Amino acid sequence: MDNKTNIRLTAAELSSLWSQYVNDTASVCVLEHSLTKVEDEEVRPVIEYALNCSLRHIEELHTLFTKDDVPIPVGFSKKDVKLDAPKLLSDTFTLMYLRQMSILAMTTSSLAIGVVTRSDVVSFHQSVLQESVTLQDLSREVMLKQGTYIRPPFISTPDHVDFVQKHSFLAGFIGERRPLTAIEITHLFINVQTNAIGKTLMMAFSQCANNEEITQYFLKGKKISQKHIDLFSSVLKKEDLPAPMSWDTAVTDSTYSPFSDKLMMFHTTAMIAAGIGNYGTAMAASPRRDIAFK
Question: What is the tens place of the pLDDT at every residue in 256-271?
Answer: 999 999 999 999 999 9
Closest residue by Cα to residue 276 from 105, 109, 104? 104
Q: Which domain holds residue 265?
A: 169-293
Q: Same structural domain for residues 37 and 117?
A: yes
- Per-residue pLDDT of 116-137, as tens digits, reads 999 999 999 999 999 999 999 9
What's the pLDDT at 1? Answer: 44
93, part of any domain: yes
Q: Same structural domain for residues 116 and 175?
A: no
Q: Same structural domain for residues 98 and 51?
A: yes
Residues 6+ apart with CB under 8 A from 50: 27, 31, 98, 101, 102, 135
214, part of any domain: yes
- Quick check: 258 and 33 in contact, CB under 8 A? yes
pTM (2 decimals)? Answer: 0.91
In angstroms, the Cα distances linking 156 to 53, 181, 282 are 40, 11, 22
Residues 6+ apart with CB under 8 A from 200: 89, 93, 246, 247, 248, 250, 251
160, part of any domain: no
What's the pLDDT at 2? Answer: 54
Q: Is 158 helix (H, G, I), strand (E, B) or coil?
A: coil
Mean pLDDT of the chain: 92
Q: Same structural domain for residues 192 and 132?
A: no
| DSSP at 85 | S
Closest residue by Cα to residue 84 from 203, 254, 263, 249? 254
Q: Same structural domain for residues 135 and 177?
A: no
Total domains in the fold of the chain: 2
Alpha helices in the chain (DSSP H): 11-37, 44-67, 91-115, 119-146, 182-206, 212-238, 261-284, 289-293
d(CA 284, CA 277): 11
